[in-house]
Amino acid sequence: MNFLGSFQQLGRAFMLPMIVLPGAAIFLFLGQLPWGMIGLPAMSGYLQTASEAIFTFLPYFFAIGISLGLTGNALAAGMAALAGMVIYVSITGSADLKIEPTVFIGSLIGMISGFSYERFKNLRLPEYIQFFGGPRFVPLFVSAVSVLFSIAMVGIAPYIERMLVELGEIVASGGGFGVFLYGFVHRILVVFGLHHLVSHVFWFQIGGFETADGSMVYGDLPRFFAGDPTAGYFMGGMYPTMMFALPAIAFAIIHEAREDLKPKIRKTFLSAALASFLTGVTEPVEFAFLFVAPYLFVVHALLSGVIMWVTYELGIRHGFSFSGGAIDYFINLHLATKGWLLIPIGIIVGIVYYVLFRWAINRFRIPTPGREEGSQLDEWAGDIPYRAPLILQAIGGKDNIIQMESCITRLRLKVANERLLDINALRNLGAAGVIRLGGGNVQVVFGTYSELIRGEMIKSIQRDQAQVLFSSPMQGRMIPLEEVPDPIFSGKLVGEGVAFIPDKGELVSPVKGEIIHVYPTMHAVGIRTPEGLDVLLHIGIDTSQLGGKGYFNAVVKEGDEVLPGALLVKFDLQRIRKESKSIATPMVITNSDLVRSWRFAPFKAVKKGQSSVMSVVLKERNSGGEGK
């Protein structure tokens, strides 16, 4: 599956230049307004020109955007792509045959620039010409390739133009089944984040249309905005799915949640439903059932294809600049054919989806969010600065990250060691799913907060603050220290921290450190970290009187060095539960004066040894050792 890892980066790169398309659609829509009535008759022309300019220079946007997306925003790659496009347009424009740049050409030059940068960025030349080595060699190399490529294109352009038009005719000859197949494959590829690749072919390559000024445009999307009445069937059928089907699934999940969890689930999934309806961002809803019921996702993909087939057969043509949400629907409705039919179709689709998913969740006991073991999709935008360091720890720390990018709904990572990923911790921190593509390529789905999370993680890496990361010392449920039924701990007189309600009778080390104290009763253990923090783990409340009766069995002694996850104490959970005040187990730092700030993961179920349950940033110290 290593090739999937390469494709994930390419898929994200294709998304970068598409962020300019909504601007073109908005300008085109605004240009239809009666500006003359308010004394601005020229405004319509200006807006129309702005929209046309974006589509005219779209190949340049794709060339530069893809090159930057493939290289982590390397300026040398972007400059190389721009130089390549200028050379291509100049050489082909001087030929007798009129050859216009297309998105395909821009994408190809962008990929050449991106791959060339990765290949030559560390190139060493003889010292007297080393100025042209490294990244500076990339624009030179791409320019040379572009010259040869442009000359070749002058000769083969007529055949390629004919091939693209014929390919569009072949696809069109497939009729509704071809559209169904596209809709099904597109939905399946969402799982891997590769749907942009197949969409790129249909939206920007297949089919040709000659505009009024005699120029040719290719692909379903540019043809739709250029006024081609046959364009829009690879986009229009997505509106019912994104505006109605996915929100219906969200409502089904809400109504099947447990009553005690329903308020929280309602808040989360109403937001997810609104995001899908307005903007066409579907992953927060889809990933809520993808991992617990993948067969249901296949049914969803099949239905998505069927919906596109139906809209095709009804002669509906509609398009979008970004995705099939209500914003694009209404902005571009003036260009659509029978676009109004998508609303009643969508309502029927929504009802079918709602009934189907409620029945399936009930019938097959699918653990969607809000049910017994459902995954969590929390509303936690305000917590991002606090959770980002914990997410970084769950990924394996900054040293495990080779490359980190983000798209609309997911972090796209390349890690050095996939075994360092803590999937449970990532889910606990709000991830809807984690997808391994092989070769260290991983996607972590956080929904529309992904870019913000990446930004906070980068800040955390750049700060490089002295901090100590804590894993879970036991399997069970993490609770705030204030909920411990003991005024000494809940009042934080011993120290700040968190507590756990154990499910199993094992206590493990949450940190690396030295055992500095094992109480004679073995109900509590003290650990000192290399940074000087003293961590107290206290099993249960009022359990000191249970010592010597076989309740606790420590497997470490004072002076032992331990690593996170190392077994410290085995204990008889059932007997302690019956004979003590509480089984709540505090984990506190007794010298909290050394800590500048605290970060806690959500208070929910945790696994033994699970990373990223707590993180503390230490105060800076002067030469005398006093906190500043």
pLDDT-derived band of residue 6, with 50, 70 and 90 as boundaries? low
3-class SS of residue 232: coil
Structure tokens at 417: 């060691």
- The answer to whether the beta carbons of residues 490 and 479 sit under 8 Å apart is no
- Residue 128, pLDDT score: 75
Which residues, other chains included, contact 167 with Cβ-Cβ below 8 Å and sequence gap of 6+?
205, 206, 207
- Cα 394 to Cα 604: distance, rounded to the nearest angstrom: 16
Mean pLDDT calculated for residue range 417-443: 83
CA–CA separation, 117 vs 98, rounded Å?
A: 31
Please give the full DSSP string across 141-182, using - where no structure is assigned. Answer: HHHHHHHHHHHHHHHHHHHHHHHHHHHHHHHHHTHHHHHHHH
Average pLDDT for 238-247: 96
Is the pLDDT at 177 greater than 70? The verdict is: yes
Residue corresponding to tokens 């659609």? 25
- Report pLDDT for 411: 86
DSSP, collapsed to helix, strand or coil, labels residue 119 as helix
- What was the pLDDT predicted at 97? 64
Query: Which tokens hold the place of 413?
Result: 């990572």
pLDDT in tens, 253-272: 999 988 877 887 888 788 78
* Active site members: 407
Its sign, for the CA torsion 62, 67, 73, 76, is negative
Tell me, what's the pLDDT at 12? Answer: 63
pLDDT of residue 546: 80
Instruction: Provide the pLDDT for residue 37.
Output: 85
The residue that leads in pLDDT, 193 or 369, is: 369
Mutual angle of helices 58-71 and 103-120, in 10-degree steps: 30
At residue 585, does pLDDT exceed 90? yes
Q: What is the dihedral of CA 287, 289, 290, 295, to 10 degrees?
A: -160
Identify the top-confidence range among 69-73, 461-465, 488-492: 488-492
- Mean pLDDT of all residues in 471-491: 93
Distance separating alpha carbons of residues 396 and 528, to the nearest angstrom: 22
9 — pLDDT class (breaks 50, 70, 90):
low
Q: Is the pLDDT of residue 1 over 50?
A: no
Side-chain-side CA neighbours of 494 within 13 Å: the count stands at 21
CA distances to 112, 114, 463, 467 from 445, in Å: 29, 25, 25, 26
Q: What is the mean pLDDT of residues 43-67?
A: 86
Hey, is 616 helix, strand or coil? strand
Are 326 and 243 spatial neighbours (Cβ–Cβ below 8 Å)? Answer: yes
* DSSP string covering 510-579: SSSEEEEEE-TTSSEEEEE-TTS-EEEEE-SBS-GGGTTTTSEEE---TT-EE-TT-EEEEE-HHHHHHH
Higher-scoring residue by pLDDT: 24, 238: 238
Provide the residue count of the chain.
628
CB 445 within 8 A of CB 437: no
Name the maximum alpha-carbon separation found in the chain: 97
CB 370 within 8 A of CB 250: no
Question: What pLDDT does 164 receive?
Answer: 60
Where is average pLDDT lowest: 5-9, 218-222, 369-373, 431-435? 5-9
Residue 59, amino acid: P
Residue 98 has a pLDDT of 65
CA distances from 127 to 140, 359, 426, 435 (A): 18, 72, 48, 45
Averaged pLDDT score across all residues of the chain: 84
Mean pLDDT of 406-411: 76
